[in-house]
Amino acid sequence: MNQLNDLELKQLKSLISKSYGNWESLKNKELQEAVTICLRHIEKGFLRVVSPKGMQANCFEQEMIHLQEWEVHSWVKQSILMAMRLRTAETFHFKFDTPLNLDTYSRVHAGLISYHDKFDVRNDLATYGVRSAHGSIVREGAYVSQGVILMPSFVNIGAWIGSGTMIDTWATAGSCTQIGKNVHIAGGVGIGGVLEPENARPVLIGDNAFLGSRVVVVEGSVVSEGAVLGANVCLTSSTPIYDMTTPDKKEYRGYVPPNAVVAAGTRIKSFPGGDIPLQCAYIIAYRNQKTDVKVSLNDILRETGIPI
């Protein structure tokens, strides 16, 4: 399967866009094939849910920088939503090759793993140079680039994982999440999916970013290139992010600037019943853009003592 040329892309986009919402049209064989083609091209990286401003959905590999300017391709999301309507959930079984013994026969689940879903789990990652530890799951319709390392984790449909990125144990990359190259996703990180509404921007994580343990990023938040999120930082579209590096404090919401080092924090808010601490985040430093990425990260961790 080759990358879509502009004419093929235009035809595919037109068919998906004009058919979306008309669920009777899903009986059409041509539309069913178009939806399947979209899934195959998404998981090969030939289609993306978002792209740099002015580019089409077939832009393939791009530097994940200037993320606030990236544009959503609603029709690509629509193809995923249509696939969900087309498919019927079924039970998939995986059998172990080890011989059964008498003890195994008395255990009804032994020797068999199963799941019940509308989508397959990808089993071709080795051909892409991806290292996937036992327990890692990449759902059909998700793209994982060469050199990615997956510890026991979950990558959902529509997601894009850039080259050299590592997703550590029990971390999740939600539906349509776009993660750049050489990103470190630490253990227990939760990146939320944004599949609906179809015109909503998904979570975007820029190149060379670092997300510490138990970080949560949801609601289409943007973590720019080179940013470092310390352990337990939680970002939603409305979470205040205060820049403490200058006397005249800046405030961001749903956006972390390039190379920012962010720590979890609280702010006091008054209510009729009293004052309570509410969650927020603080930018406490910036990485040096002129130094090597790993050296810059090590230096900033030593200087700030930020937990990761």
HEC-encoded secondary structure of 256-280? ECCCEEEEEEEEEEEECCEEEEEEE
Domain that holds residue 35: 6-86
For the beta carbon of residue 305, count every other beta carbon within 10 angstroms. Answer: 10
CATH number at residue 53: 1.10.166.10
Non-local (6+) Cβ contacts of 65 within 8 A are 206, 207, 224, 225, 258
> What would the pLDDT profile of 204-215 be if each residue is shown by its tens digit?
999 999 999 999
- The answer to the question of residue 1 being in a domain is no
pLDDT of residue 109: 58
pLDDT of residue 222: 98
Pairwise pLDDT comparison (157 vs 123), residue with the higher score: 157
CATH number at residue 228: 2.160.10.10
- Work out the mean pLDDT of the chain and round it to a whole number: 92
Same domain, 80 and 128: no
The residue among 205, 145, 147, 146 whose CA lies nearest residue 174 is 205
Same domain, 131 and 63: no
Distance CA 49, CA 55 (A): 12
> What would the pLDDT profile of 149-163 be if each residue is shown by its tens digit?
999 999 999 999 999
| Residue 304 pLDDT grade (very low, low, confident, very high; cuts 50, 70, 90) | confident
pLDDT of residue 303: 86
- The answer to the question of residue 217 being in a domain is yes
- The answer to the question of residue 95 being in a domain is no
Residue where a domain terminates, one of 86, 104, 134? 86
pTM, full prediction: 0.92
Same domain, 284 and 210: yes
Same domain, 264 and 170: yes
Q: Are 60 and 45 in contact (CB under 8 A)?
A: yes
**Does residue 232 register a pLDDT over 60?**
yes
- The answer to the question of residue 180 being in a domain is yes
Give the mean model confidence (pLDDT) for residues 126-155.
96
Q: How many domains does the chain have?
A: 2
